[in-house]
C-alpha cells in the first residue's frame, strides 16, 4: 500500500484556461486502462483528433495535467500493472481515472436529461435547464481486521475468484455511520459480535470508485455463521497460516501485515 500523499506531486485545480503545451496526459481507454509511452512514461503530446474529450485536472510534478479518453488502442496498461512499476504514477492515475469516470457518467442530467455544462470554477457539471449539479462521487466502504487472541478472522468471498481468504469488507449504507457499517457488515456476513473497534487509515480504491476505511476490532461473542451469499466460508487464522495476497496494493494487505507484525 502507498503511504505517501498524492499532494506530494500534485496540485489540485480545475479550469479550462490552461495550456496543453508540454503537459502531461492521462489517456484512458474504455476499459479504464492507461496509455503510456514505450518507456512506460506519460505522454506529453497528443493528437487532438483522436480524443473523446480532454479535461484539465491540475498540475502533476509541476506540469499542467489533463485527463483524456480515447477509443481502445495499443500500449495501454491496467492500473494494477502501473502500481507494480511506478507507484507515483499509479497514485495520480487513481485521481485521473475517477475524474474521467465522473465526466463520462454525467454528460446528461440525471433529473431531466438535458446536456450538462462544466462549471466556471468548480469541478462540477451543472444542468442549464433544471439547475441540478453533479459533483464527483465516491462510494465509502469499510474493511476490518478482527482479532481473537493471536488469530485473525478471514473469509472466502463469493466474488473473489483468485483470492482464497480475505478480510471482511462492505459498503456504507445510506443513513448509517461508518462504525455502524462495520458492526452491521460483520453481523450480516459472519454472524459474530465485535468490540474495541478502532479506525486505522483510509485508501482511495479506484476499482471502480471506493474510499476504503480500515479498522481493527476484537472478537466479542457468537459463533461464525456465514451468509452463504457474499461469504462462503470463514475461519480464524494464526499468522503462519495466512496466505498473502499477490500484491501489496490494497489496504487489506496493510491490515494483514499489521496483524503479522504484532505477533
Residue-wise pLDDT tens digits, 73-98: 778 999 999 999 999 999 999 999 99
In the chain, domain spans: 6-105, 139-261
Q: Which residues of the chain have pLDDT under 50?
A: none
Which residue is listed with cell 484539465?
A: 56
Check: CB of residue 231 under 8 Å from CB of residue 159: no
Quick one: which of 233, 241, 242, 243 has its CA closest to 190?
233
Amino acid 17: pLDDT: 63
- DSSP label of 95: H
Amino acid 15: pLDDT: 75
Amino acid 16: pLDDT: 66
Distance CA 125, CA 122 (A): 9
Same CATH fold assignment for domains 6-105 and 139-261? yes
Quick one: which of 166, 208, 215, 212 has its CA closest to 189?
166
Quick one: which of 75, 27, 74 has its CA closest to 48?
27
Q: Which CATH superfamily is domain 139-261 in?
A: Nucleoside Triphosphate Pyrophosphohydrolase (3.90.79.10)
Residue-wise pLDDT tens digits, 19-67: 677 899 999 999 999 999 999 999 998 877 778 889 999 999 999 999 9
Q: Is CATH 3.90.79.20 what the domain over 6-105 is classified as, yes or no?
A: yes
Amino acid 244: pLDDT: 87
Amino acid at each position: 500500500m502507498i503511504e505517501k500523499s498524492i499532494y506530494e506531486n500534485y496540485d489540485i485545480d480545475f479550469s479550462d484556461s490552461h495550456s496543453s503545451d508540454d503537459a502531461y496526459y492521462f489517456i484512458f481507454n474504455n476499459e479504464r486502462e492507461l496509455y503510456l509511452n514505450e518507456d512506460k512514461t506519460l505522454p506529453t503530446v497528443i493528437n487532438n483528433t483522436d480524443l473523446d474529450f480532454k479535461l484539465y485536472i491540475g498540475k502533476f510534478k509541476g506540469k499542467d495535467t489533463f485527463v483524456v479518453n480515447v477509443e481502445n488502442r495499443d500500449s495501454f496498461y491496467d492500473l494494477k500493472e502501473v502500481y507494480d512499476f511506478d507507484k507515483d504514477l499509479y497514485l495520480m492515475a487513481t485521481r485521473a481515472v475517477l475524474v474521467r469516470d465522473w465526466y463520462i457518467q454525467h454528460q446528461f442530467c440525471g433529473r431531466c436529461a438535458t446536456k450538462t455544462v462544466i462549471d466556471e470554477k468548480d469541478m462540477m457539471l451543472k444542468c442549464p435547464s433544471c439547475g441540478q449539479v453533479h459533483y464527483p462521487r465516491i462510494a465509502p466502504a469499510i474493511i476490518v481486521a478482527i482479532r481473537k487472541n493471536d488469530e485473525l478472522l478471514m473469509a472466502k468471498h463469493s466474488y473473489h475468484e483468485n483470492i482464497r481468504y480475505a478480510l471482511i469488507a462492505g459498503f456504507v449504507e445510506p443513513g448509517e455511520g461508518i462504525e455502524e457499517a462495520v458492526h452491521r457488515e460483520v453481523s450480516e456476513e459472519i454472524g459474530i459480535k465485535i468490540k474495541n473497534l478502532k479506525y486505522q487509515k483510509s485508501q482511495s480504491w479506484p476499482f471502480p470508485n471506493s474510499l476504503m476505511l480500515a479498522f481493527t476490532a476484537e472478537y466479542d461473542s457468537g459463533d461464525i455463521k456465514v451468509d452463504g451469499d457474499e461469504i462462503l466460508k470463514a475461519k480464524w487464522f494464526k499468522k503462519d497460516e495466512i496466505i498473502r495476497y499477490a500484491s501489496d496494493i490494497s489496504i487489506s494487505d496493510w491490515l494483514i501485515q499489521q496483524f503479522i507484525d504484532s505477533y
